[in-house]
Amino acid sequence: MTYTVGMYLADRLAQIGLKHHFAVAGDYNLVLLDQLLTNGDMKQIYCCNELNCGFSAEGYARSNGAAAAVVTFSVGAISAMNAIGGAYAENLPVILISGSPNSNDYGTGHILHHTIGKDDYSYQLEMVRHVTCAAESITDAASAPAKIDHVIRTALRESKPAYLEIACNIAGAECERPGPFSALHAAARPDLESLTASVQASLDWLKDRERVVILVGSKLRAAHAQKHAVELADRLGCAVTIMAAAKSFFPETHAGFRGLYWGEVSDPGAQELVEGADAIICLAPVFNDYATVGWRAWPKGENVLLADKDQITVAGQSFSGFTLREFLTELAKVAPEKTATRDSTKAPRLEIPVAASDARLTNDEMARQLQGLITSNTTLTAETGDSWFNAARMHLPDGAKVEFEMQWGHIGWSVPSTFGNAVASPDRRHVLLVGDGSFQLTAQEVAQMVRYELPVIIFLVNNRGYVIEIAIHDGPYNYIKNWDYAALVEAFNAGDGHALGLKAATGAELEAAISKALDNKKGPTLIECSIQTDDCTKKLVEWGKRVAAANSRKPQVV
Protein backbone atom coordinates (compact mmCIF):
# COMPACT_ATOMS: atom_id res chain seq x y z
CA MET A 1 0.00 0.00 0.00
CA THR A 2 1.27 3.47 -0.88
CA TYR A 3 2.18 5.46 2.22
CA THR A 4 0.47 8.88 2.06
CA VAL A 5 0.40 12.32 3.61
CA GLY A 6 -2.86 11.41 5.36
CA MET A 7 -1.29 8.28 6.78
CA TYR A 8 1.68 10.26 8.05
CA LEU A 9 -0.68 12.65 9.84
CA ALA A 10 -2.67 9.74 11.29
CA ASP A 11 0.47 8.06 12.59
CA ARG A 12 1.69 11.22 14.26
CA LEU A 13 -1.69 11.87 15.91
CA ALA A 14 -1.79 8.31 17.23
CA GLN A 15 1.79 8.58 18.46
CA ILE A 16 0.96 11.58 20.66
CA GLY A 17 -1.81 9.58 22.35
CA LEU A 18 -4.96 10.26 20.33
CA LYS A 19 -7.29 7.28 20.20
CA HIS A 20 -9.99 9.32 18.46
CA HIS A 21 -10.31 12.33 16.17
CA PHE A 22 -13.46 14.34 15.51
CA ALA A 23 -14.77 15.08 12.05
CA VAL A 24 -17.42 16.71 9.89
CA ALA A 25 -17.21 15.62 6.25
CA GLY A 26 -16.98 17.97 3.27
CA ASP A 27 -15.76 17.47 -0.27
CA TYR A 28 -12.36 19.05 0.38
CA ASN A 29 -11.54 16.61 3.22
CA LEU A 30 -13.08 13.33 2.04
CA VAL A 31 -9.84 11.76 0.81
CA LEU A 32 -8.11 12.88 4.00
CA LEU A 33 -10.82 11.23 6.10
CA ASP A 34 -10.31 8.01 4.12
CA GLN A 35 -6.59 8.14 4.81
CA LEU A 36 -7.09 8.74 8.52
CA LEU A 37 -9.36 5.70 8.68
CA THR A 38 -6.48 3.45 7.62
CA ASN A 39 -4.91 3.89 11.07
CA GLY A 40 -6.28 1.17 13.32
CA ASP A 41 -5.15 2.93 16.49
CA MET A 42 -7.64 5.80 16.07
CA LYS A 43 -11.40 5.96 15.68
CA GLN A 44 -13.17 8.66 13.69
CA ILE A 45 -15.92 10.34 15.72
CA TYR A 46 -18.55 12.39 13.90
CA CYS A 47 -20.20 15.63 15.01
CA CYS A 48 -23.31 17.51 13.94
CA ASN A 49 -21.52 20.67 12.80
CA GLU A 50 -18.07 22.21 12.74
CA LEU A 51 -18.52 24.46 15.77
CA ASN A 52 -19.51 21.44 17.83
CA CYS A 53 -16.66 19.46 16.28
CA GLY A 54 -14.16 22.03 17.53
CA PHE A 55 -15.68 22.12 21.00
CA SER A 56 -15.82 18.30 21.12
CA ALA A 57 -12.10 18.19 20.38
CA GLU A 58 -11.55 20.84 23.04
CA GLY A 59 -13.32 18.65 25.60
CA TYR A 60 -11.29 15.64 24.49
CA ALA A 61 -8.08 17.63 25.01
CA ARG A 62 -9.16 18.50 28.56
CA SER A 63 -9.15 14.80 29.42
CA ASN A 64 -6.57 13.38 27.01
CA GLY A 65 -4.04 16.21 26.81
CA ALA A 66 -4.42 16.80 23.05
CA ALA A 67 -7.04 16.41 20.34
CA ALA A 68 -7.77 16.80 16.62
CA ALA A 69 -10.74 18.08 14.62
CA VAL A 70 -11.03 17.56 10.85
CA VAL A 71 -13.26 19.86 8.80
CA THR A 72 -13.67 21.16 5.26
CA PHE A 73 -12.44 24.42 3.81
CA SER A 74 -13.89 27.82 4.70
CA VAL A 75 -17.52 26.97 5.50
CA GLY A 76 -16.27 24.36 7.96
CA ALA A 77 -13.01 25.78 9.26
CA ILE A 78 -14.28 29.31 9.84
CA SER A 79 -17.13 27.90 11.92
CA ALA A 80 -14.68 25.74 13.87
CA MET A 81 -12.42 28.74 14.53
CA ASN A 82 -14.82 29.91 17.21
CA ALA A 83 -14.07 26.76 19.20
CA ILE A 84 -10.37 27.01 18.37
CA GLY A 85 -10.40 30.53 19.81
CA GLY A 86 -11.78 28.95 22.96
CA ALA A 87 -9.03 26.33 22.98
CA TYR A 88 -6.46 29.12 22.64
CA ALA A 89 -8.00 31.10 25.52
CA GLU A 90 -8.24 27.98 27.68
CA ASN A 91 -4.72 26.68 26.82
CA LEU A 92 -5.66 23.40 25.15
CA PRO A 93 -3.64 21.77 22.33
CA VAL A 94 -6.28 21.07 19.67
CA ILE A 95 -5.06 20.40 16.12
CA LEU A 96 -7.56 21.87 13.64
CA ILE A 97 -7.15 20.14 10.26
CA SER A 98 -8.89 21.54 7.20
CA GLY A 99 -9.10 20.11 3.73
CA SER A 100 -8.44 22.76 1.11
CA PRO A 101 -8.71 23.31 -2.68
CA ASN A 102 -6.81 21.23 -5.19
CA SER A 103 -3.19 22.38 -5.37
CA ASN A 104 -3.52 22.90 -9.13
CA ASP A 105 -6.09 25.67 -8.55
CA TYR A 106 -3.77 27.89 -6.51
CA GLY A 107 -2.62 30.87 -8.56
CA THR A 108 -4.87 30.13 -11.55
CA GLY A 109 -7.52 32.77 -10.95
CA HIS A 110 -10.20 30.07 -10.49
CA ILE A 111 -13.20 30.92 -8.34
CA LEU A 112 -14.10 27.91 -6.23
CA HIS A 113 -17.11 26.88 -4.16
CA HIS A 114 -16.85 27.09 -0.34
CA THR A 115 -14.75 30.23 -0.73
CA ILE A 116 -15.61 33.92 -0.38
CA GLY A 117 -15.61 34.27 -4.16
CA LYS A 118 -12.02 35.41 -4.64
CA ASP A 119 -9.20 33.60 -6.41
CA ASP A 120 -6.85 33.98 -3.43
CA TYR A 121 -7.47 31.14 -0.98
CA SER A 122 -5.00 32.31 1.66
CA TYR A 123 -7.56 34.20 3.77
CA GLN A 124 -8.36 31.18 5.93
CA LEU A 125 -4.70 30.68 6.85
CA GLU A 126 -4.38 34.37 7.68
CA MET A 127 -7.48 34.26 9.90
CA VAL A 128 -6.52 31.16 11.83
CA ARG A 129 -3.04 32.45 12.70
CA HIS A 130 -4.69 34.74 15.28
CA VAL A 131 -6.08 31.81 17.31
CA THR A 132 -3.29 29.25 16.95
CA CYS A 133 0.36 28.93 17.93
CA ALA A 134 1.36 27.45 14.55
CA ALA A 135 -0.36 27.25 11.17
CA GLU A 136 0.75 25.57 7.94
CA SER A 137 -0.69 25.06 4.45
CA ILE A 138 0.32 21.86 2.67
CA THR A 139 0.11 21.95 -1.13
CA ASP A 140 2.88 19.43 -1.89
CA ALA A 141 3.71 16.05 -0.39
CA ALA A 142 7.43 16.70 0.03
CA SER A 143 6.96 19.46 2.61
CA ALA A 144 4.15 17.68 4.49
CA PRO A 145 6.20 15.76 7.13
CA ALA A 146 8.12 18.81 8.32
CA LYS A 147 5.00 20.97 8.45
CA ILE A 148 2.93 18.34 10.23
CA ASP A 149 5.66 17.79 12.83
CA HIS A 150 6.12 21.52 13.37
CA VAL A 151 2.42 22.09 14.00
CA ILE A 152 2.02 19.15 16.39
CA ARG A 153 5.26 19.85 18.27
CA THR A 154 4.40 23.52 18.78
CA ALA A 155 0.88 22.75 20.01
CA LEU A 156 2.20 20.30 22.60
CA ARG A 157 4.98 22.59 23.82
CA GLU A 158 2.79 25.67 24.15
CA SER A 159 -0.47 23.98 25.18
CA LYS A 160 -2.25 25.94 22.48
CA PRO A 161 -4.21 24.95 19.36
CA ALA A 162 -2.53 24.70 15.97
CA TYR A 163 -3.69 24.40 12.37
CA LEU A 164 -3.00 22.28 9.29
CA GLU A 165 -4.48 22.93 5.87
CA ILE A 166 -4.07 20.04 3.39
CA ALA A 167 -4.98 20.34 -0.29
CA CYS A 168 -7.58 17.75 -1.25
CA ASN A 169 -5.34 16.12 -3.88
CA ILE A 170 -2.33 15.96 -1.54
CA ALA A 171 -3.90 13.98 1.32
CA GLY A 172 -3.58 10.78 -0.71
CA ALA A 173 -0.21 11.63 -2.30
CA GLU A 174 2.81 9.47 -1.58
CA CYS A 175 4.88 10.59 1.39
CA GLU A 176 7.94 9.49 3.35
CA ARG A 177 7.35 7.62 6.60
CA PRO A 178 7.87 9.31 10.00
CA GLY A 179 10.91 8.86 12.18
CA PRO A 180 10.82 8.53 15.99
CA PHE A 181 8.05 10.59 17.52
CA SER A 182 10.08 11.40 20.65
CA ALA A 183 11.14 14.65 18.98
CA LEU A 184 7.54 15.88 19.18
CA HIS A 185 7.71 15.70 22.98
CA ALA A 186 11.27 16.86 23.45
CA ALA A 187 11.48 19.77 25.87
CA ALA A 188 13.95 22.62 25.70
CA ARG A 189 16.67 22.51 28.33
CA PRO A 190 16.22 25.03 31.14
CA ASP A 191 18.54 27.99 31.62
CA LEU A 192 20.02 26.83 34.94
CA GLU A 193 21.51 30.23 35.79
CA SER A 194 18.16 31.96 35.44
CA LEU A 195 16.34 29.13 37.26
CA THR A 196 18.79 29.27 40.19
CA ALA A 197 18.50 33.05 40.39
CA SER A 198 14.69 32.89 40.41
CA VAL A 199 14.68 30.42 43.28
CA GLN A 200 17.13 32.50 45.32
CA ALA A 201 15.11 35.67 44.70
CA SER A 202 11.99 33.83 45.87
CA LEU A 203 13.74 32.64 49.03
CA ASP A 204 14.93 36.18 49.79
CA TRP A 205 11.38 37.44 49.26
CA LEU A 206 9.90 34.78 51.56
CA LYS A 207 12.47 35.15 54.33
CA ASP A 208 10.74 37.75 56.51
CA ARG A 209 7.16 37.01 55.49
CA GLU A 210 4.97 34.82 57.69
CA ARG A 211 1.41 35.00 56.34
CA VAL A 212 2.07 33.08 53.13
CA VAL A 213 -0.78 31.95 50.85
CA ILE A 214 -0.67 30.05 47.57
CA LEU A 215 -3.29 31.07 44.98
CA VAL A 216 -3.75 28.45 42.27
CA GLY A 217 -4.72 29.68 38.78
CA SER A 218 -6.26 28.04 35.75
CA LYS A 219 -3.10 27.73 33.63
CA LEU A 220 -1.57 25.28 36.13
CA ARG A 221 -2.88 22.29 34.18
CA ALA A 222 -1.54 23.60 30.88
CA ALA A 223 1.83 24.00 32.60
CA HIS A 224 1.69 20.33 33.67
CA ALA A 225 2.50 21.49 37.17
CA GLN A 226 -0.39 20.33 39.36
CA LYS A 227 1.55 17.78 41.41
CA HIS A 228 4.44 20.23 41.68
CA ALA A 229 2.09 22.79 43.26
CA VAL A 230 1.16 20.17 45.87
CA GLU A 231 4.84 19.54 46.56
CA LEU A 232 5.43 23.25 47.19
CA ALA A 233 2.36 23.46 49.43
CA ASP A 234 3.62 20.47 51.42
CA ARG A 235 7.04 22.07 51.84
CA LEU A 236 5.74 25.51 52.87
CA GLY A 237 2.89 24.20 55.01
CA CYS A 238 0.87 27.32 54.18
CA ALA A 239 -2.78 27.84 53.26
CA VAL A 240 -3.78 27.23 49.64
CA THR A 241 -6.66 28.88 47.80
CA ILE A 242 -7.84 28.44 44.23
CA MET A 243 -9.26 30.74 41.59
CA ALA A 244 -12.67 29.73 40.24
CA ALA A 245 -11.39 28.51 36.86
CA ALA A 246 -8.88 26.29 38.69
CA LYS A 247 -11.56 24.31 40.53
CA SER A 248 -10.23 20.73 40.96
CA PHE A 249 -6.68 21.69 39.90
CA PHE A 250 -5.56 21.39 43.54
CA PRO A 251 -6.81 18.63 45.89
CA GLU A 252 -9.51 19.91 48.22
CA THR A 253 -8.65 17.20 50.73
CA HIS A 254 -5.16 18.69 51.17
CA ALA A 255 -4.41 19.85 54.72
CA GLY A 256 -3.75 23.38 53.52
CA PHE A 257 -6.77 23.85 51.25
CA ARG A 258 -8.80 26.88 52.28
CA GLY A 259 -11.31 27.29 49.49
CA LEU A 260 -11.99 29.50 46.52
CA TYR A 261 -10.79 33.09 46.33
CA TRP A 262 -13.02 35.28 44.14
CA GLY A 263 -13.15 38.69 45.78
CA GLU A 264 -16.55 39.42 47.30
CA VAL A 265 -17.93 36.05 46.18
CA SER A 266 -15.16 33.96 47.78
CA ASP A 267 -15.69 30.96 50.00
CA PRO A 268 -16.06 31.95 53.68
CA GLY A 269 -12.75 33.25 55.02
CA ALA A 270 -10.86 33.04 51.72
CA GLN A 271 -11.03 36.75 50.86
CA GLU A 272 -9.72 37.80 54.25
CA LEU A 273 -7.02 35.15 54.07
CA VAL A 274 -5.66 36.18 50.65
CA GLU A 275 -6.04 39.92 51.03
CA GLY A 276 -4.51 39.83 54.53
CA ALA A 277 -1.45 37.83 53.46
CA ASP A 278 2.01 39.38 53.32
CA ALA A 279 3.07 36.88 50.65
CA ILE A 280 0.78 35.63 47.87
CA ILE A 281 2.30 33.04 45.54
CA CYS A 282 0.15 33.17 42.41
CA LEU A 283 0.57 29.99 40.36
CA ALA A 284 -0.38 30.36 36.67
CA PRO A 285 -3.31 32.75 37.19
CA VAL A 286 -5.53 34.53 34.67
CA PHE A 287 -6.62 37.88 36.11
CA ASN A 288 -9.39 38.89 33.73
CA ASP A 289 -12.47 41.00 34.51
CA TYR A 290 -14.56 37.96 35.45
CA ALA A 291 -11.91 36.43 37.71
CA THR A 292 -11.26 39.74 39.48
CA VAL A 293 -14.98 40.59 39.89
CA GLY A 294 -14.72 43.65 37.67
CA TRP A 295 -11.06 44.39 38.55
CA ARG A 296 -11.78 44.48 42.32
CA ALA A 297 -9.90 41.31 43.36
CA TRP A 298 -6.54 41.49 41.62
CA PRO A 299 -3.50 40.71 43.81
CA LYS A 300 -0.71 43.15 42.95
CA GLY A 301 2.32 44.77 44.51
CA GLU A 302 5.40 43.77 46.47
CA ASN A 303 3.51 41.05 48.37
CA VAL A 304 2.87 39.06 45.18
CA LEU A 305 5.08 36.44 43.51
CA LEU A 306 3.68 35.82 40.04
CA ALA A 307 4.65 32.38 38.76
CA ASP A 308 3.42 32.10 35.20
CA LYS A 309 3.80 29.22 32.77
CA ASP A 310 7.21 30.38 31.54
CA GLN A 311 8.11 33.44 33.60
CA ILE A 312 8.58 34.23 37.29
CA THR A 313 8.19 37.78 38.62
CA VAL A 314 9.21 38.50 42.19
CA ALA A 315 10.53 41.54 44.08
CA GLY A 316 10.64 43.67 40.94
CA GLN A 317 12.59 41.11 38.89
CA SER A 318 11.49 38.80 36.07
CA PHE A 319 13.08 35.44 35.26
CA SER A 320 12.53 33.18 32.24
CA GLY A 321 14.22 30.39 30.30
CA PHE A 322 12.60 27.53 32.23
CA THR A 323 9.17 26.11 32.92
CA LEU A 324 6.87 26.63 35.89
CA ARG A 325 7.20 22.94 36.62
CA GLU A 326 10.98 23.25 36.88
CA PHE A 327 10.71 26.32 39.10
CA LEU A 328 8.28 24.66 41.51
CA THR A 329 10.41 21.54 41.68
CA GLU A 330 13.50 23.49 42.71
CA LEU A 331 11.68 25.86 45.08
CA ALA A 332 9.99 22.92 46.82
CA LYS A 333 13.40 21.49 47.68
CA VAL A 334 14.53 24.53 49.68
CA ALA A 335 11.50 26.64 50.63
CA PRO A 336 11.15 27.52 54.33
CA GLU A 337 8.26 26.32 56.47
CA LYS A 338 5.50 28.96 56.68
CA THR A 339 2.52 27.45 58.51
CA ALA A 340 0.86 30.53 60.05
CA THR A 341 -1.98 30.82 57.54
CA ARG A 342 -2.76 27.11 57.64
CA ASP A 343 -2.59 26.81 61.42
CA SER A 344 -4.88 29.78 62.07
CA THR A 345 -7.66 28.84 59.63
CA LYS A 346 -9.91 25.94 58.68
CA ALA A 347 -11.15 24.60 55.36
CA PRO A 348 -14.61 25.93 54.45
CA ARG A 349 -17.53 23.57 54.50
CA LEU A 350 -20.67 24.80 52.77
CA GLU A 351 -23.72 22.79 53.76
CA ILE A 352 -27.00 23.09 51.82
CA PRO A 353 -30.08 22.23 53.91
CA VAL A 354 -32.42 19.52 52.66
CA ALA A 355 -35.68 20.84 51.20
CA ALA A 356 -39.07 19.20 51.66
CA SER A 357 -39.36 16.45 49.04
CA ASP A 358 -42.69 17.73 47.71
CA ALA A 359 -41.66 21.41 47.65
CA ARG A 360 -41.04 23.16 44.36
CA LEU A 361 -37.52 22.43 43.12
CA THR A 362 -35.04 25.17 43.94
CA ASN A 363 -31.53 25.91 42.74
CA ASP A 364 -30.17 25.03 46.19
CA GLU A 365 -31.93 21.66 46.31
CA MET A 366 -30.71 20.88 42.80
CA ALA A 367 -27.14 21.70 43.88
CA ARG A 368 -27.49 19.58 47.02
CA GLN A 369 -28.52 16.54 45.02
CA LEU A 370 -25.83 17.23 42.43
CA GLN A 371 -23.27 17.05 45.25
CA GLY A 372 -24.41 13.49 45.91
CA LEU A 373 -23.29 12.48 42.42
CA ILE A 374 -19.72 13.72 42.85
CA THR A 375 -17.30 10.85 43.40
CA SER A 376 -13.57 10.51 42.85
CA ASN A 377 -14.41 9.25 39.36
CA THR A 378 -16.68 12.15 38.35
CA THR A 379 -16.04 14.85 35.78
CA LEU A 380 -18.46 17.76 36.22
CA THR A 381 -18.66 20.17 33.30
CA ALA A 382 -20.33 23.47 34.19
CA GLU A 383 -21.67 25.86 31.58
CA THR A 384 -21.20 29.63 31.66
CA GLY A 385 -23.62 31.22 34.12
CA ASP A 386 -24.97 30.19 37.48
CA SER A 387 -23.66 26.69 36.75
CA TRP A 388 -20.22 28.15 37.55
CA PHE A 389 -21.31 29.13 41.03
CA ASN A 390 -23.13 25.86 41.68
CA ALA A 391 -20.10 23.83 40.57
CA ALA A 392 -17.80 26.07 42.59
CA ARG A 393 -19.58 25.13 45.82
CA MET A 394 -19.21 21.38 45.28
CA HIS A 395 -16.92 19.53 47.72
CA LEU A 396 -14.54 17.45 45.64
CA PRO A 397 -13.01 14.14 46.71
CA ASP A 398 -9.57 13.34 45.31
CA GLY A 399 -9.81 12.50 41.63
CA ALA A 400 -12.98 14.47 40.93
CA LYS A 401 -12.66 16.97 38.09
CA VAL A 402 -14.49 20.19 37.25
CA GLU A 403 -14.34 21.79 33.80
CA PHE A 404 -15.08 25.48 33.21
CA GLU A 405 -14.59 27.75 30.21
CA MET A 406 -14.22 31.02 32.09
CA GLN A 407 -11.86 32.87 29.75
CA TRP A 408 -13.66 32.30 26.43
CA GLY A 409 -17.12 32.06 28.03
CA HIS A 410 -18.97 30.78 24.96
CA ILE A 411 -22.46 29.74 26.04
CA GLY A 412 -23.33 26.31 24.69
CA TRP A 413 -19.69 25.23 24.85
CA SER A 414 -20.39 22.64 27.53
CA VAL A 415 -22.60 20.25 25.53
CA PRO A 416 -20.09 19.30 22.80
CA SER A 417 -17.18 19.66 25.22
CA THR A 418 -18.77 17.10 27.53
CA PHE A 419 -19.33 14.82 24.55
CA GLY A 420 -15.64 15.00 23.64
CA ASN A 421 -14.55 14.55 27.25
CA ALA A 422 -16.75 11.46 27.59
CA VAL A 423 -15.29 9.99 24.39
CA ALA A 424 -11.80 10.47 25.85
CA SER A 425 -12.62 9.00 29.28
CA PRO A 426 -15.66 6.69 29.07
CA ASP A 427 -14.66 5.04 32.35
CA ARG A 428 -15.53 8.22 34.30
CA ARG A 429 -18.96 9.46 35.38
CA HIS A 430 -19.69 12.55 33.30
CA VAL A 431 -22.17 15.09 34.66
CA LEU A 432 -23.15 18.22 32.74
CA LEU A 433 -24.75 21.26 34.37
CA VAL A 434 -26.16 23.57 31.69
CA GLY A 435 -28.79 26.30 31.47
CA ASP A 436 -31.64 26.21 28.97
CA GLY A 437 -30.44 29.23 26.98
CA SER A 438 -26.95 27.81 26.56
CA PHE A 439 -28.29 24.38 25.70
CA GLN A 440 -30.26 25.74 22.75
CA LEU A 441 -27.04 26.76 20.98
CA THR A 442 -25.47 23.29 20.71
CA ALA A 443 -28.19 20.81 21.68
CA GLN A 444 -27.53 18.70 18.56
CA GLU A 445 -24.50 17.05 20.14
CA VAL A 446 -26.72 15.16 22.58
CA ALA A 447 -27.61 13.12 19.49
CA GLN A 448 -23.97 12.08 19.26
CA MET A 449 -24.01 11.04 22.92
CA VAL A 450 -26.94 8.81 21.91
CA ARG A 451 -25.08 7.54 18.83
CA TYR A 452 -21.98 6.52 20.79
CA GLU A 453 -23.96 5.31 23.84
CA LEU A 454 -22.30 7.65 26.34
CA PRO A 455 -24.07 7.68 29.74
CA VAL A 456 -23.70 11.40 30.39
CA ILE A 457 -26.05 12.78 33.06
CA ILE A 458 -27.33 16.21 32.00
CA PHE A 459 -28.85 18.63 34.51
CA LEU A 460 -30.78 20.96 32.20
CA VAL A 461 -31.69 24.02 34.28
CA ASN A 462 -34.95 25.30 32.82
CA ASN A 463 -35.27 28.83 34.22
CA ARG A 464 -36.50 30.29 30.92
CA GLY A 465 -33.72 32.72 30.16
CA TYR A 466 -30.09 33.79 30.24
CA VAL A 467 -29.86 34.24 34.01
CA ILE A 468 -26.20 35.29 33.96
CA GLU A 469 -27.06 38.11 31.54
CA ILE A 470 -30.06 39.05 33.67
CA ALA A 471 -27.68 39.38 36.62
CA ILE A 472 -25.32 41.62 34.62
CA HIS A 473 -27.76 43.73 32.56
CA ASP A 474 -31.43 42.82 32.16
CA GLY A 475 -33.61 43.33 29.11
CA PRO A 476 -36.14 41.54 26.87
CA TYR A 477 -33.29 39.92 24.91
CA ASN A 478 -32.45 37.73 27.92
CA TYR A 479 -35.61 35.62 27.66
CA ILE A 480 -35.99 32.68 25.31
CA LYS A 481 -38.63 30.49 23.65
CA ASN A 482 -39.10 27.55 25.96
CA TRP A 483 -38.62 23.99 24.67
CA ASP A 484 -39.88 20.66 25.92
CA TYR A 485 -36.31 19.57 26.61
CA ALA A 486 -37.11 16.13 28.01
CA ALA A 487 -39.24 15.32 24.96
CA LEU A 488 -36.42 16.43 22.65
CA VAL A 489 -34.43 13.40 23.74
CA GLU A 490 -36.95 11.07 22.11
CA ALA A 491 -36.38 12.83 18.81
CA PHE A 492 -32.66 12.16 19.19
CA ASN A 493 -33.35 8.50 20.01
CA ALA A 494 -35.31 8.09 16.76
CA GLY A 495 -36.38 4.58 17.70
CA ASP A 496 -32.98 2.98 18.23
CA GLY A 497 -31.33 5.15 20.90
CA HIS A 498 -31.23 4.58 24.64
CA ALA A 499 -31.31 8.13 26.01
CA LEU A 500 -33.76 9.16 28.71
CA GLY A 501 -35.56 12.48 28.93
CA LEU A 502 -36.95 13.20 32.39
CA LYS A 503 -38.57 16.13 34.18
CA ALA A 504 -38.12 17.27 37.77
CA ALA A 505 -40.18 20.01 39.42
CA THR A 506 -39.73 18.85 43.03
CA GLY A 507 -36.90 17.43 45.07
CA ALA A 508 -38.53 13.98 45.09
CA GLU A 509 -38.86 14.00 41.30
CA LEU A 510 -35.20 14.97 40.92
CA GLU A 511 -34.11 12.20 43.27
CA ALA A 512 -36.09 9.64 41.28
CA ALA A 513 -34.68 10.98 37.99
CA ILE A 514 -31.10 10.71 39.25
CA SER A 515 -31.72 7.11 40.26
CA LYS A 516 -32.92 6.31 36.72
CA ALA A 517 -29.96 8.14 35.24
CA LEU A 518 -27.51 6.06 37.25
CA ASP A 519 -29.15 2.89 35.95
CA ASN A 520 -29.00 4.02 32.31
CA LYS A 521 -25.63 2.78 31.04
CA LYS A 522 -26.29 2.86 27.28
CA GLY A 523 -26.95 6.53 26.62
CA PRO A 524 -27.32 10.02 28.09
CA THR A 525 -30.01 11.02 30.56
CA LEU A 526 -31.32 14.57 30.37
CA ILE A 527 -33.08 15.76 33.52
CA GLU A 528 -35.07 18.93 32.90
CA CYS A 529 -34.91 20.77 36.24
CA SER A 530 -37.67 23.38 36.34
CA ILE A 531 -36.90 26.31 38.67
CA GLN A 532 -38.02 29.91 38.83
CA THR A 533 -36.20 32.44 36.65
CA ASP A 534 -35.04 34.54 39.60
CA ASP A 535 -33.87 31.51 41.60
CA CYS A 536 -30.09 31.60 41.43
CA THR A 537 -27.12 31.74 43.78
CA LYS A 538 -26.66 34.94 45.74
CA LYS A 539 -23.07 34.96 44.53
CA LEU A 540 -24.16 35.24 40.90
CA VAL A 541 -26.23 38.31 41.74
CA GLU A 542 -23.38 39.94 43.68
CA TRP A 543 -20.81 39.06 41.02
CA GLY A 544 -23.12 40.27 38.26
CA LYS A 545 -23.47 43.68 39.90
CA ARG A 546 -19.69 44.10 40.10
CA VAL A 547 -19.12 43.02 36.49
CA ALA A 548 -21.94 45.29 35.31
CA ALA A 549 -20.32 48.21 37.13
CA ALA A 550 -17.02 47.51 35.34
CA ASN A 551 -18.77 47.27 31.97
CA SER A 552 -20.63 50.55 32.50
CA ARG A 553 -17.64 52.76 33.33
CA LYS A 554 -17.90 56.06 31.51
CA PRO A 555 -15.30 56.96 28.88
CA GLN A 556 -12.35 58.88 30.23
CA VAL A 557 -12.18 62.50 29.15
CA VAL A 558 -8.85 63.26 27.46
Partnered with residue 260 across adjacent β-strands are 242
- Asked if pLDDT for residue 344 goes beyond 80, the answer is yes
What value does the mean pLDDT take over residues 530-553?
A: 88
What value does the mean pLDDT take over residues 286-291?
A: 96
User: What are 195-239's pLDDT values in tens digits?
Assistant: 999 999 999 999 999 999 999 999 999 999 999 999 999 999 999
pLDDT of residue 186: 75
Question: From CA 352, how far away is CA 368, in angstroms rounded?
Answer: 6
User: What are 92-115's pLDDT values in tens digits?
Assistant: 999 999 999 999 999 899 999 999
Contact 24, 53 (CB under 8 A): yes
pLDDT of residue 510: 98
Minimal CA–CA distance to 424: which of 12, 69, 59?
59
User: Regarding beta strands 212-216 and 162-167, do their DSSP bridges make them parallel or antiparallel, or are they unpaired?
Assistant: unpaired
Question: From CA 153, how far away is CA 134, in angstroms rounded?
Answer: 9
Question: From CA 8, how far away is CA 145, in angstroms rounded?
Answer: 7
Per domain, the residue ranges of the chain are 5-185, 192-343, 363-543
- Asked if pLDDT for residue 472 goes beyond 80, the answer is no
pLDDT of residue 144: 97
Three-state secondary structure call for residue 557 = coil
Q: How confident is the model at residue 463 (pLDDT cuts 50, 70, 90)?
A: confident
- Asked if pLDDT for residue 324 goes beyond 80, the answer is yes
What value does the mean pLDDT take over residues 301-306?
A: 97
pLDDT of residue 281: 98
Fold of 363-543: Rossmann fold (3.40.50)
Contact 402, 394 (CB under 8 A): yes
pLDDT of residue 552: 87
pLDDT of residue 435: 94
pLDDT of residue 544: 85
Q: How confident is the model at residue 1 (pLDDT cuts 50, 70, 90)?
A: confident
pLDDT of residue 188: 83
**Percent of the chain residues topping a pLDDT of 70:** 100
pLDDT of residue 277: 98
User: Class assignment of domain 192-343?
Assistant: alpha beta
> Which carries the bigger pLDDT value, residue 411 or residue 558?
411
What value does the mean pLDDT take over residues 401-422?
A: 97
- Phi/psi class of residue 114: alpha, beta or left (left: φ > 0; alpha: ψ in -120 to 50)? left
pLDDT of residue 183: 77
Q: Which CATH superfamily is domain 5-185 in?
A: Thiamin diphosphate (ThDP)-binding fold, Pyr/PP domains (3.40.50.970)
322-331, 500-509, 545-554, range with the lowest pLDDT: 545-554
pLDDT of residue 425: 98
User: Regarding beta strands 43-46 and 94-100, do their DSSP bridges make them parallel or antiparallel, or are they unpaired?
Assistant: unpaired
pLDDT of residue 336: 98
pLDDT of residue 534: 84
Question: From CA 64, how far away is CA 60, in angstroms rounded?
Answer: 6
pLDDT of residue 498: 98
Contact 22, 67 (CB under 8 A): yes
Neighbours of 17 (CB within 10 A): 14
User: What are 16-35's pLDDT values in tens digits?
Assistant: 999 999 999 999 999 999 99
| Identical fold, 5-185 and 363-543 | yes
Question: From CA 229, how far away is CA 250, in angstroms rounded?
Answer: 8
- Asked if pLDDT for residue 533 goes beyond 90, the answer is no
Three-state secondary structure call for residue 41 = coil
Contacts within 8 Å (CB) and 24+ apart, 451-454: 451/46, 451/497, 452/45, 452/423, 453/498, 453/522, 453/523, 454/419, 454/422, 454/423, 454/426, 454/430, 454/523, 454/524
User: What are 152-186's pLDDT values in tens digits?
Assistant: 999 999 999 999 999 999 999 999 999 888 878 87
User: pTM score, two decimals?
Assistant: 0.96
- Quote the crossing angle between the two packed helices 363-371 and 507-519, to the nearest 10°: 30
- Quote the crossing angle between the two packed helices 226-236 and 324-334, to the nearest 10°: 20
pLDDT of residue 401: 98
pLDDT of residue 475: 83
Contact 273, 241 (CB under 8 A): yes
Average pLDDT taken over every residue of the chain:
95
Q: How confident is the model at residue 334 (pLDDT cuts 50, 70, 90)?
A: very high
**Percent of the chain residues topping a pLDDT of 90:** 89
User: What are 124-138's pLDDT values in tens digits?
Assistant: 999 999 999 999 999
